[in-house]
A and B are shown apart, each in its own frame.
Chain A
Amino acid sequence: MIRRLVCLFILGLLSFLASAQQPSPPIKAGTKIDYKFFLYGQTVPVTLTIKSMMDDVVLDWYIRGGVGSYLIPAAAFENGTRLNFIQPAQNTVIKLGAEETFALISKSAFSTLKKDKKLVYNNTTYILRENEPLFQAGGLQLDVLHVVGQEESGDLWILNNPDFPLICQVSNNPLGINFSMIAIK
């Protein structure tokens, strides 16, 4: 009886926590995401603005007065298989390869993650870690999927949004480039 009550209590608590999660603002052209990038001991604020997400995805970046863009081809947005962590270049649109994404994973990879609770990206298998604490960003508690690299280190927190699987946080990146979302608006 006690065990049953405990189970009911836990279920109730989980349900409460789920309801406490606030949905992220709708991702659309114009959405701004403030990140903190952690680069070899230096912290760099980076703002990404979604300039377009129809067909190709264009992300404008802003860093300390500098501006530029990343262009993720439509094919990569649909079926990309790896992240490209290329450095932003001032006043330049960096066009990524047909399998490369930046700051998000492809929709197909996200779909695989939802289905199999794992995905292969960056030539690395990432396993979903369940029952994780909520992800906080700018007063919002976001519904994210935390995946952990298996063959080598790498943690990704991916927004639970099949239409725009934005990466909210990267840590333990073997490439040395980590970031965390501070706000989304």
Chain B
Amino acid sequence: MLSAPARAQEKHHSFVDPMIGSEGLGRVFIGPSCPFGMVKPSPDCGTAPNSGWLPDPVPVTGFSQLHVSGTGGGPKYGNIQVMPFTGTLDSLDQSSPRENETVKLGYYSVLLKKSKVKTEITTAEKVAFYKFSYPSANKALKIDAGFFLGEQPVPDAREAQQFVGSEIELVSPTEIRGYSRIRAGWNNGRAYTVYFYAILDQPVTSFASWKGTKLYSGIPQQFDSNEKTGLLLSVGGTEKLLNMKVGISFLSSLKAKENIQKEVPHWNFEQVLTSLQNKWEKLFNRIEINGSASKTQQQLFYTGLYHTMLMPVDRTGENPLWTNDKPYYDDFYTLWDTYRTSNPLITLISPLKEAEIVNALIDIYKHDGYLPDGRSGNANGRTQGGSHAEVVIADAYVKDLKGIDYELALQAMLKDALVPPGGNEEQEGRGGLTEYNRLGYVPFSVVRSGNRTVDYAYNDYNIATVAKGLNHKKTFDRFIRQSGNWRNLWRDDYSHEGSKGFILPKDEKGKWLDTIPYGNSERQHPTYIYTPLTHETPWYACHWCGFFYEGTSWEYSFSIPHEVPALIQKSGGNAAFRKRLDTFFDKKFYNVANEPSFLTPTLYHWIGRPDLSSKRIRQIIAASYNTSRNGLPGNDDSGAMSSWLAFHMIGLYPNAGQPYYLINSPLLKQTIFHQENGKDFKVIAHGLSEKNTYIRSAKLNGKSFDQAWISHQDIVNGGELVFEMDAKPSAWGTKILQPLSLKP
């Protein structure tokens, strides 16, 4: 009885476990970070892992200042690495095994077994703060301006980062400056430069610098000659403790110094940590779940929110490409992953923050020419399917986010839909656009033609949404018509596993392709048979060169979020669609580890069976999500997996780009949205238990509410959505189906 109130007062951030999803496929960032924080210091265990970190016993190479979270493909960042050690300044390799690793929100510590140095890290927005506790006053430190993640011996290996240059200088006994310039990586972006300025609280007494593999004792600087550079430092004094602040900037070393002076003018580690925790707490307070929720639920929920707000990163004031007063965000990794759940969750937590993010996207269009789908290191790329900034903008528009120039946003969206990116389609815009606009679909000769077609159709719907609202009738007419283009790859007469109609490959002449040639042989002419379960990559084609990106026809044939009623009709009606969904889940054609199927468990709603949606969702969560280090079923992708879970724990699920949420049986007894507009909205599940997992009835603000969806505006208005739960399915939510907000 006493424990519940005591726990209710516990800060939300204490439930965050940054290690959830750190192993296996999750690949989340485990170090300290502010919400949307630019600096993300963390251990690097070799150069291979995307997040830098790997579990013991892989040795720690050092601690670099920038990382990404939950990504697949080749790594990005891992710049400006520091490593404490003891002894003489004669070896560049100071990697060490570790013990006593402790990871909490905003805090990381470890004991390096080789040197016995305890390393503690916290961070501000643009400044990492290190506390090194040495076993004696014999203190040494390595600062590596040349390190980066994803280094490969093959020059220009696809998705590998490539070294361009570095520079380092011991400016004074307590100050070091320099930079690291790297290009490519996962998004094959242009070179980016990470400048740093490090300040120690005790003076350096001796030093050696290096360039390439050669050490130069007593030389305090190395200029950039396209080689890796760094410093080995001995630090004086009788203290065993050494504090270091590492300011980071994308503009200059002096700006990095200014960032230190502005953010952390003191040497109080605890103060930096507390400030970070308070920033997170302020955001977590926006969604308060019932204090009686189990510890596991609290951990899963608030860690989900935490993962969602690690990226994109706020680099306002750090844009090296153009100057203005607009917000600047980087590390959209990628909108293909995040538009479904991450962006909508940020909208509910902080519409102001989401509006900033949308404004940053529009500003990138204004200066770089195209909206990004992916962006990292100040460069657009890659595109995986559609041009999904359209969904993000339409989602902001239908949810009435303020402070966005939607006319300019529409222009940006239309650029994607009308102007081919001219050979640059891996970076931005729409690949196969000319063919899409001519044929109404992307033919098989263009890579990823399957998901490009269904994604473009949805993106066209997003354009139509904004055009309609802004009263651009001609634009609306065109794009609402094009939003039906998915039908052009829908093969009505194709049956598979008892279901009829699939998105399948078609050539330019309109011929369906059952067998597809592969390879470049002129003497052998092998083919493979394409079926709705075919994963042709990487066996027959490169990872990026299949009909669908990271999915099958079974998955993508459900991916018509704007015309589910038409999809049901095409599939043969309600009964056939239910059978199709059942087959999809029961035969394990569903891929829990990736985003294309995020909406699919909720599609039972459209046949009037929200109970079946809820049942599937509970099954998926029970089987695939937990609080372990392997607790995420796939790459977290900037919090995509985590935000999917958070929504379903509340009992709401967005259909991004459209102004409503599907209602599912919550996993939490109560959720309160303390909104930025000052109005609270509560979701309450009376009688929820392990047995009572179905909604028997609902009331919105005291009035009977018999629909399994709720408008965003209802939430914004504030109020209460109260469910009465039951042990068996009921007729609740079976009659008034989800709205189709636009009609051709």
Within 8 A of A (CB), among B55-81: none
Select the residue from B158, B539, B543 with max chain A CB neighbours within 10 A. B539
Cβ B543 vs Cβ A40 within 8 A: yes
Give A175 to B537 CA distance when docked, in angstroms.
Answer: 13
Task: Tell whether B702 is near chain A: CB-to-CB under 8 Å.
Answer: no
Interface pick from B210-218, B452-460, B514-522, B716-724: B514-522
Docked CA distance A174–B521 (Å): 5
For chain A, what secondary structure do more than half of its interface residues adopt (helix, strand, loop), or is it mixed? loop
Q: Is the CB of A87 within 8 A of B543?
A: no
Q: Are B520 and A41 in contact (CB under 8 A)?
A: no
Closest to B535 in A: A87
Partner of A122, one of B157, B520, B523: B523
Contact A122 B542 (CB under 8 A): no
A84 at the interface (CB under 8 A from B): yes
A86 touching B528 by the CB < 8 A rule? Answer: yes
Contact check, B522 vs A152: say whether CB atoms are below 8 A apart: yes
Report if A123-B526 is in contact (Cβ < 8 Å); known contacts: A39-B538, A40-B543, A42-B538. Answer: no
Cross-interface CB contact of A152 among B521, B526, B537, cutoff 8 Å: B521
Task: Find out whether the CB atom of A176 lies under 8 angstroms from the CB atom of B520.
Answer: yes
Residues of B within 8 A of A41 (CB): 157-158, 538, 542-543
Chain A positions 156 through 185: 1 when the CB is less than 8 Å from some CB of chain B, otherwise 0: 000000000000000001111100000000
CB-CB contacts of B524-547 with A at 8 A, as 1s and 0s? 101010000000111111110100
Partner of A176, one of B157, B519, B522, B523: B519
Are the CB atoms of B523 and A175 closer together than 8 Å? no
Q: Could you give 13 example pairs across A and B, Cβ below 8 Å?
A: A40-B538, A40-B541, A41-B157, A41-B538, A41-B542, A42-B538, A86-B526, A86-B528, A123-B523, A152-B523, A174-B521, A177-B519, A177-B539
Given contacts A175-B518, A176-B519, contact A87 B540 (CB under 8 A): yes
Report the separation of the CA atoms of residues A95 and B541 in the bound assembly, to the nearest whole angstrom.
23
A177: nearest residue on chain B (CB-CB)? B539
Q: When the two chains form their complex, are residues B524 and A82 in contact, meaning their CB atoms are under 8 A apart?
A: yes
Contact of A8 with B by CB under 8 A: no
8 Å CB interface, B534-567 against A? 536-543, 545
User: When chains A and B are docked, how far (Å) is the Cα of A123 from the Cα of B543?
Assistant: 28
- Separation in Å of the B269 CB from the closest CB of chain A? 43
Q: A residues 125-180 with Cβ under 8 Å of B?
A: 151-152, 173-177
Q: Which of A82, A122, A124, A176 has the most CB of B within 10 A?
A: A176
B514 CB, min distance to chain A CBs, angstroms: 15
Contacts of A84 in B (CB 8 A): 526
Question: Which chain B positions have C-beta within 8 A of A177?
Answer: 519, 539
Closest Cβ–Cβ distance, residue B574 to chain A (whole Å): 31
**From A175, which residue of chain B is reached at the shortest CB distance?**
B519
Residues on A with C-beta less than 8 A from B539 are 39, 87, 177
A18 at interface, CB cutoff 8 A: no
Residue of B nearest to A84 (CB): B526
Q: In the bound complex, what is the Cα–Cα distance between A39 and B545 (angstroms)?
A: 12
Report the separation of the CA atoms of residues A124 and B525 in the bound assembly, to the nearest whole angstrom. 12
Structural contact, B542 and A40, CB atoms closer than 8 A? yes
Q: How far is the CA of A86 from the CA of B536 in the complex (A)?
A: 10
For A124, list chain B residues within 8 Å (CB). Answer: 523-524
Instruction: Give complex CA distance A40, B528 in Å.
Output: 17
B519 touches A174 (CB 8 A): yes
Interface 1/0 per residue, B496-529 and A, CB below 8 Å: 0000000000000000000000111111101010
In the assembled complex, the CB of A78 is this many whole angstroms from the nearest CB of chain B, namely 21
Check A175 against B536 for contact (C-beta < 8 Å): no
A123 surroundings in chain B (CB, below 8 A)? 523-524
Which A residues touch B538, using CB under 8 A?
39-42, 44
A9 / chain B contacts, CB cutoff of 8 Å: none
List the B residue with the shortest CB-CB distance to A38.
B538
Contact between chains at A87 and B536 (CB < 8 Å): yes
Question: Which chain B residue lies CB-closest to A87?
Answer: B539
Docked pose: A1 CA to B166 CA in angstroms: 60
Interface centre among B158, B518, B524 (most CB of A within 10 A): B524
Instruction: Report, nearest first, the 10 A-B pairs whose CB atoms are least far apart.
Output: A175-B519, A40-B542, A174-B521, A39-B538, A87-B539, A123-B523, A42-B538, A40-B538, A174-B520, A176-B519
Within 8 A of B (CB), among A83-124: 84-87, 122-124
The residues in B between 167 and 192 inclusive whose CB is less than 8 angstroms from any CB of A are none
With both chains docked as a complex, state the minimum distance between the C-beta of B29 and any C-beta of chain A, in angstroms.
Answer: 24
A42 touches B522 (CB 8 A): no
Asked if B524 and A40 make an inter-chain contact with CB atoms under 8 angstroms apart, the answer reads no
Do B519 and A40 have beta carbons less than 8 Å apart? no
Chain A, Cβ-Cβ closest to B159: A41
* Closest chain B CB from A126 CB (angstroms): 12
Min CB gap A6→B, angstroms: 38
- Beyond A42-B542, A122-B521, A152-B522, 7 additional contacts (C-beta under 8 Å) are A39-B539, A87-B536, A87-B539, A124-B523, A151-B523, A174-B519, A177-B519
CA distance A87 to B519 in the complex (A): 13
Q: Which residues of A contact B540 (CB under 8 A)?
A: 87, 176
- Closest-CB distance, A150 to chain B (whole angstroms): 10
Nearest Cβ on chain B to A90's Cβ, whole angstroms: 9
Q: In whole Å, how far is B48's beta carbon from the nearest beta carbon of chain A?
A: 13
